Structure 1
Amino acid sequence: MPSKNTTRPQDDVLADFQALVSDTEKLLQHTANLAGDQADELRLQIQDSLKRARDTLRTTEQNLRERSQAAVQATEDYVQEHPWQSVGLAAGIGFLLGLLAARR
């Protein structure tokens, strides 16, 4: 059973990037009143950059989700195939973390 926190750091990065794209779109809408060839050219460049950023974001998000799902599945398969080794490994890690926590 996959953990809900499996891709938490990636989700934070993707959410921040999506917020950046959204803020840039709002800025583009607010500058629609500006006139002139340079303003039009700047808006076109921003729109192109936003489209590329959205495409990159979708691709990156899909790749991250696929990789994290593969890691979760590999872990689950290992635990199912080697339950006692997994219990021993977990106990050892717990013991080491307990030692580190006791040192403080």
Structure 2
Amino acid sequence: MSTKSMEEAGDISKEKLMRDLRLVVEDAEELLKATASQAGEKASAARERIQKTLDSAKARLDAAESEVIEKARQAAKATDEYVQDNPWKAVGVAACVGVIVGMLIGRSR
């Protein structure tokens, strides 16, 4: 596996992880709201700690999301620049990929 495809796989994993973390944070917030009516000093202190942890997790998640978005923009820009600088190479690569996909589809029939 090439370094580039490993990086892409890592980016996809990061995006999936961020989506999953967002869902966990949302579920935890809903749980906090649902248990807000629970009385007691310990319950209140626990809710406050959980809320602080959730706020911190949200901030880190937002920062990670921004980083992934910026890396994706940089990758798109680098790809665009490469294609602009080497249009025939890009056409050749696209043609090769098309031939390979065509062969694989034809082979499966």
Q: Give the alignment partner of residue 23 of structure 1, picking from 2, 5, 27.
A: 27
Q: How does 1:78-97 map to 2 (within 5 A)?
A: 78-97=82-101
C-alpha distance in 2, partners of 1:25/1:10? 22
Classify the secondary structure of the residue corresponding to 2:60: helix
TM-score w.r.t. structure 1 length? 0.80
C-alpha distance in 1, partners of 2:46/2:104? 55
Cα shift at 1:20: 2.8
Cα shift at 1:41: 2.0
Which letter does structure 2 place at the counterpart of 1:101?
I
Greater relative CO (CA pairs within 8 A, separation 6+): 1
Q: Which residue of 2 aligns with 1:3?
A: none
Structure 2, gaps ≥5 residues long: 1-10
Structure 1, gaps ≥5 residues long: 1-6
C-alpha distance in 1, partners of 2:66/2:23? 18
Q: Which residue of 2 aligns with 1:34?
A: 38
Structure 1 residue runs of 4 or more that deviate by more than 3 Å after TM superposition: 7-17
More off after superposition, 26-35 vs 58-67: 26-35
C-alpha distance in 2, partners of 1:9/1:87? 29
Which letter does structure 2 place at the counterpart of 1:91?
A
**Alpha-carbon RMSD:** 2.2
Cα shift at 1:62: 0.3
Percent identity between matched residues is: 36
C-alpha distance in 2, partners of 1:98/1:9? 29
